[in-house]
Amino acid sequence: MTSNSLHAIEGQRDRAEAAVAAATDAVIAAGRAAAGRHWVPATSGNFSVRIDGGRAAMTRSGVDKGALSAADILIQPLDAPLLPGSSAEAPLHVALYRADPAIGAIFHVHSPAATVLSRLALEDESAEDAVRLEGWELQKALKGVRTHEAVVEVPVFANDQDTVRLAALVDARFAAPREAGLHIAPGYLLAGHGLYAFGADAAEAWRHLEALETLLEQERSYRRSRR
């Protein structure tokens, strides 16, 4: 082997290690930020960032998301069985990465407005398994939404401890044809459980997470005061 090709291999390995380190750092930062908002009480929530086409950095089960270190992050291959110590909700991350190569980060929190409004939405017989948002300026923080007049649909799924079955339902819902003029949110709700948000990278996923939780809080207090 020539020294040139050795240098090329070393360069590739350095870039791969840097990608793992960057994804790990982004997961840790998201966990801390969510803990600062009280969105991940009692070790709940999970966070992942794509490393490349075949791997994602992901929080392991049962760790305090406000005190993450690199040892709490698993490097999960997307086409292999889940690693020991994976979160019960890891299938929901892996399925989304596999379904959509444009997704670069997925953040999941048990934030108050998402948890409560999702439950109310499923209990309300007039609702169609979704929370519809309309008339809020902050909707424009969601990718592709340009006006407060747009209608944004946040899908709601019944909570299910079988997260493989749940992941299949989520995939089917995001792959289904959309009603004209309706924006589907870059995220979804599990009733009485919490919020998943995703984006092209960690910054976008965080913006979507923060916007959706805030929009849901605005919607919740608006509905309450209209009663």
Q: Tell me if 183 is assigned to a ligand binding site.
A: no
Residue ranges in the chain assigned as alpha helix (H): 3-36, 90-99, 112-123, 163-175, 202-226
CA-to-CA distance for 46 and 56, rounded, in angstroms? 13
CA angle at 62 for the pair 195 and 36, rounded to the nearest 5°? 55
Query: Any idea which residue has 């409560």 for tokens?
Result: 116
Contacts of 18 (CB under 8 A, 6+ apart): none
Three-class SS of residue 9? Answer: helix
The pair of three-digit structure tokens given for residue 159, joined into one six-digit string: 């909570």
- CA-to-CA separations, 191 to 3, 19, 45, in angstroms, rounded: 58, 35, 14
- Residue 108 is labelled as binding a ligand: yes
Amino acid identity at 37: R
Using a 10 angstrom Cβ sphere, with 0-12 exposed, 13-18 middle and 19 or more buried, the burial of residue 69 is exposed
User: Known binding site: residues?
Assistant: 108, 110
Residues placed in the known binding site for Zn(2+): 108, 110
